[in-house]
Amino acid sequence: MSRIKALSLVVLSYLIYVQPIMAVQPNERLADPLLEERARMLSQNIRCLVCQNQSIDDSNATLAKDLRVLVREKLTAGATNDEIFDFLVDRYGDFILLNPPFKPSTYVLWYGPLIFLIVGLLMTVLIMNKSKRRVSEKPLSQAERVSLSKLLEQKDKT
């Protein structure tokens, strides 16, 4: 009995101590909580160029660690967020930003979905207009009306 109790305690303690897994190591953190929060915010928008689909905040790659430390050093030295992003873009290009910048070369990216939506709507309107016209284009001819009434009579008989 006591063994089961002890075992369940161990299991429970594991459940309690579940923490979000972070790549940021304790010794990297800044003492100032405000700066640290900014550092986390910035790192979440900086791509780890080794793993490429992770931010440097999530990645365990050594380059990600180097960049995390670099971001924190710059913050401590009083750099603004934009200065830090610019510093990285100068070296690695826009690809290092997880949130692509809005500029002429990315207009297709940002406006693309809107253009597709407009084209889609236009085509829908065109198609619907056409089908409406097809139904009410012209009245039935004499011959058509006769054959229609014949068909209806047949239906009534059965």
Partner 1 sequence: MAKTIFVFPLLVFFGVITYFTIPIVKKSDPKLIPSALVDKDVPENKLPPLFKNKRGFDHGDLVGGETLVNFFSSWCGPCRVEHDILMKISEEKTVRLFGINYKDQTQAAIRWLSELGDPFERIVADRDGRAAIDWGGLWRPRNVSN
**SS3 readout for 15-40:** HHCCCCCCCCCHHHCCCCHHHHHHHH
Check binding of 7 to partner 1 (CB under 8 A): no
Cα–Cα nearest to 46, from 18, 20, 74: 74
Radius of gyration of the chain (CA): 33
Contact 47, 67 (CB under 8 A): no
Residue 5 beta carbon to partner 1: minimum distance, rounded to whole angstroms: 48
User: Whose Cβ is closer to partner 1: residue 9's or residue 123's?
Assistant: 123
Q: Nearest approach, Cβ of 136 to partner 1 (angstroms)?
A: 17
Per-residue contact string for residues 25-54; x = within reach of partner 1 by CB under 8 A: ------------------------xx-x--
Binding residues for partner 1, rule: CB under 8 A, are 49-50, 52, 61-63, 66-67, 70, 89-93, 95, 119, 123, 126, 130
